[in-house]
């Protein structure tokens, strides 16, 4: 191999907002056949907003207030949106005690003597021992249980990035066979967003360890994984090429990654593959 070609490939990549950590990674990029993406913050903007509050028995404003009281202690983007909605119109958020957050599941706490649990359908079903209501397919639900009884859900929508659909087409033109979405979100919303994005293979309701297993089992290889979140570090490390995206990307994710995309633009993942091809054409 000609070192000069690798040097110019890496500097071309850097000019495109793509930091490639080693020349071996450039070679791998040229061969990538499967690309897996995290959904929230990667395929979407990761700025969910509340679109509806559905309750069963309780006043919607009361359920929102209870949910916000525990969510104010979480850093999850869904939590921030629930708190913002509760504050809209000058509402104050009540105090909560005994907070426990279970990553990729939700949060539990005590508000004014009531036990409040918020999070995924599976997490809240375990709390109540019964099923949850299903929101419109395009929205993510944060389900709520109060004192062990199902109270309803807060529905949130997160917009697909403008460049996401075209990125899938570019990857296919660059020789990628399969695009995948790996998400902890519900099956309905995942399928809806997957179809909108033009993703080939959608995997929903995955815990962090399930995402790692999905990447390890993915075919054909090599597999590239693109993600932005704190919880994405293990899955980036499990991929043949791990790509951390975004100015807000956590340092844990960036450290586990082989490639860092320095701006919030998912199309740079396809650029990285194209630069890999170009470098390998001139490297031999």
Residues identified as active-site: 38
- Biggest CA-to-CA distance, the chain: 70
- Which residue, 20 or 79, has its beta carbon nearer to ligand ADP? 79
Show the tokens assigned to 35. 């690309």
Specify which residues 53 forms β-bridges with. 154
How distant is the alpha carbon of residue 60 from its chain centre?
A: 28
Q: How far is the CB of 63 from ligand ADP (least distance, A)?
A: 13
Query: Which pair of structure tokens corresponds to residue 165?
Result: 């659909």
Point out which span in 14-22, 56-64, 69-77, 271-279 binds ligand ADP (CB under 6 A).
69-77
Cβ 243 vs Cβ 143: under 8 Å: no
Of 160 and 172, which CB lies nearer to ligand ADP in the complex structure? 160
104 binds ligand ADP (CB under 6 A): yes
The reply to whether 40 sits near Mg ion by the rule CB under 5 A is: yes
- Residue 164 contacts ligand ADP per CB under 6 A: no
The residue written with tokens 């990667």 in the block is 42
Stretch that binds Mg ion, among 36-44, 83-91, 150-158, 265-273 (CB under 5 A): 36-44
Residue 48 binds to Mg ion (criterion: CB under 5 A): no
Token representation of residue 137: 């397919």
Q: Which of residues 7-26 bind ligand ADP (CB under 6 A)?
A: none
Could you give the string, one character per residue 212-241, with x where binding to Mg ion holds by CB under 5 A and - elsewhere? Answer: -----------------x------------
> What is the rounded CA–CA span in Å between residue 176 and residue 35?
7
Per CB under 6 A, the segment of 100-108, 126-134, 217-225, 267-275 that binds ligand ADP is: 100-108
145 touching ligand ADP, by CB under 6 A = no
The nearest distance, CB 41 to Mg ion, in angstroms, is 6
Q: How far apart are the first and last CA of the chain?
A: 5
Distance CA 278, CA 114 (A): 60
Q: Which stretch binds ligand ADP (CB under 6 A): 21-29, 73-81, 251-259, 263-271?
A: 73-81
Name the H helices within the chain: 3-15, 23-31, 60-71, 77-87, 121-128, 164-173, 187-197, 208-217, 233-238, 251-256, 268-283
> What burial letters (b/e) apply to 170-182, b meaning 16+ CB within 10 Å?
bbbebebebbbbb
What character string, x for contact with ligand ADP (CB under 6 A) and - otherwise, covers 233-272?
----------------------------------------
What are the residues binding ligand ADP (CB under 6 A)? 38-40, 71, 74, 76, 78-79, 104-107, 118-120, 140, 142, 183-185, 229, 231
């Amino acid at each position: 191999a000609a070192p000069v070609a690798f040097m110019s490939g890496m500097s071309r990549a850097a000019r495109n907002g793509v930091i490639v950590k080693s020349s071996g990674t450039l070679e791998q990029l040229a061969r990538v056949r499967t690309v897996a993406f995290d959904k929230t913050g990667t395929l979407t903007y990761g700025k969910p907003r509340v679109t509806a509050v559905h309750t069963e028995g309780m006043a919607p404003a009361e359920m929102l207030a209870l949910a916000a009281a525990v969510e104010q202690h979480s850093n999850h983007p869904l939590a921030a949106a629930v708190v913002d909605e509760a504050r809209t119109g000058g509402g104050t958020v009540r105090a909560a005690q005994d907070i426990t957050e279970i990553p990729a599941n939700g949060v539990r706490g005590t508000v004014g003597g009531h036990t409040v649990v918020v999070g995924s359908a599976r997490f809240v079903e375990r709390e109540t021992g019964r099923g949850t209501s299903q929101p419109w397919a395009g929205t993510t639900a944060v389900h709520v249980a109060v004192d062990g009884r199902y109270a309803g859900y807060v529905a949130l929508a997160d917009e697909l990035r403008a460049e996401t659909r075209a990125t899938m087409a570019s990857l296919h033109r660059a020789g990628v066979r399969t695009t995948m979405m790996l998400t902890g979100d519900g099956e309905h919303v995942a399928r809806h967003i997957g179809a909108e994005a033009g993703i080939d293979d959608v995997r929903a309701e995955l815990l962090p360890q399930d995402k790692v297993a999905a990447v390890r089992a993915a075919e054909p290889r090599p597999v590239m994984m693109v993600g932005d979140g704190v919880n994405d570090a293990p899955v980036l490390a499990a991929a043949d090429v791990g790509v951390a995206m975004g100015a807000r990307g956590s340092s844990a994710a960036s450290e586990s990654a082989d490639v860092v995309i320095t701006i919030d633009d998912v199309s740079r993942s396809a650029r990285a593959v194209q630069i890999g091809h170009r470098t390998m054409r001139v490297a031999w």
